[in-house]
Amino acid sequence: MWTLSGFSDEISPDLQEQCELVSRLGLTHLEFRSAWQTNVLDLDEAQLARAKEILDSHGLRVSSIGSPIGKIRIDEPFDPHVQRAQHAVQVAHHFGARYIRVFSFFIRPGDDPDAHRDEVLSRMRVLAQVAADGDVIMLHENEKEIYGDIPRRCVDILESVGSPNLRAAWDAANFVQVGVRPFTEAYAQIRPLLEYVQIKDAYLSTGEVVAAGRGDGELVATIRALREDGFDGFFSLEPHLSQTHELGGFSGPELFTEAFEAFTGLGHSPGRAHPGPAGGDGVRDNGVSVAALALSDDSVALDAYAADPPERVALVLGTEGDGLASRTLAGVDTVVRIPMGGGVDSLNVAAAGAVAAWALRVG
């Protein structure tokens, strides 16, 4: 079962206001990065106690500590940072959180990240041991300008360290901002190491952060693949729709709500997997496979689909012109296209349905 969380400090600096909107949206968890304009690792004992009271009063739990661990330059002193990581473990225990987000150190402009590999791996091994000693899992988030910015180096960190206490947090927008198409170029490599998914999107051309499904983050394909391979974990909204800076971002209540609606519109509801189009779970319960007729990058040709079709199929067709919504495509089992020539790229609904039904006829 998927559970939706979010960086609630993107709503407001005030934790009470954060919790009110999170609860109103129906979420059961939040990712704790800051409150009262103070990073979670810098809250004093009284503030930590007050934060726990507020969370408990709203029936909310913490999915992860959104720490800045690893957001120092690779040539800056590490020992004080280790102490900060140990404090992060204490904070995670205070809130009953299993996860702590971390990074793999900023590389100075002009430096080759690979030249710093040995030092990065040495430091990440230490952080993994801190996590193991504290019985938590640190989540390495890919981000521009750190060592683990591209898929190859993210995999290198996690496989080289080889600890069950250091796993991957997936951020599609951050991959886009370094020129990577997330699903196409990163998913297969990182999926075996994946533990947690951050939700934001971005344009490949400019790097501008946008709501989920509106950029080049390939979220629909990613969600579909995660559902098919049984992902069971957290999705965490991190919209960055108003402000972005080195240690986080801000959206405000309206834009955070917009980000929530954009993501849930892709086919995910808080606390449960999306049932698919038009009550797809109902037909699946009766052994029916759901196929959408649409043009998409990951569609299969109708003749190939018909060559070895499921025993029972329900076809989903969209309106002429607009076609099917992205949330519908995210909820089907297969996207099927009708091969056409002569410059034609679509048929009307009646014709498309008839062609597909004929191709999939029994006997």
Q: Which domains does the chain have, with CATH numbers?
A: 3-264 (3.20.20.150), 280-359 (3.40.1280.10)
Look up residue 264 and give its two tokens.
């849930």
User: Taking 80 as the threshold, does the pLDDT of residue 47 lie above it?
Assistant: yes
The residue among 134, 36, 119, 29 whose CA lies nearest residue 70 is: 119
Alpha carbons 121 and 350: distance in angstroms, whole number: 58
Read off the amino acid at residue 215. G
Least confident of 33-37, 189-193, 349-353: 349-353
Alpha carbons 306 and 229: distance in angstroms, whole number: 23
* Cβ contacts of 241 within 8 Å, gap of 6 or more: 209, 210, 211, 249, 251, 252, 255, 256, 258, 259
User: Taking 60 as the threshold, does the pLDDT of residue 345 lie above it?
Assistant: no
pLDDT band per the 50, 70, 90 thresholds, residue 212: very high
The Cα angle at residue 41 between residues 28 and 249, in degrees rounded to 5: 65
The set of long-range contacts for 225-229, using a CB threshold of 8 Å and a minimum separation of 24, is 225/183, 225/187, 225/191, 226/2, 226/197, 227/273, 227/274, 229/191
Element (H, E) at 95: helix 79-95
The 10s digit of each residue's pLDDT in 60-80 is: 999 999 999 999 999 999 999
Alpha carbons 277 and 317: distance in angstroms, whole number: 11
- β-sheet bridge partners, residue 272: 269
- Whole-model pTM above 0.85? no
- CA 313 from chain center: how many Å? 30
Contact 13, 34 (CB under 8 A): yes
Q: Give the per-residue pLDDT at 274.
A: 36
Could you count the other beta carbons within 10 Å of the beta carbon of residue 356?
Answer: 21
More confident residue, 195 or 304: 195
Q: Give the per-residue pLDDT at 354.
A: 86
Q: Give the per-residue pLDDT at 292.
A: 87
Alpha carbons 291 and 335: distance in angstroms, whole number: 6
* Cβ contacts of 73 within 8 Å, gap of 6 or more: 105, 106, 107, 108
Contact 212, 200 (CB under 8 A): yes
Q: Indicate the average pLDDT of the chain.
A: 88
Q: Give the per-residue pLDDT at 322.
A: 59
The 10s digit of each residue's pLDDT in 86-104 is: 999 999 999 999 999 999 9
- β-sheet bridge partners, residue 315: 291
pLDDT band per the 50, 70, 90 thresholds, residue 279: very low
Contact 15, 40 (CB under 8 A): no
Q: Give the per-residue pLDDT at 268.
A: 46
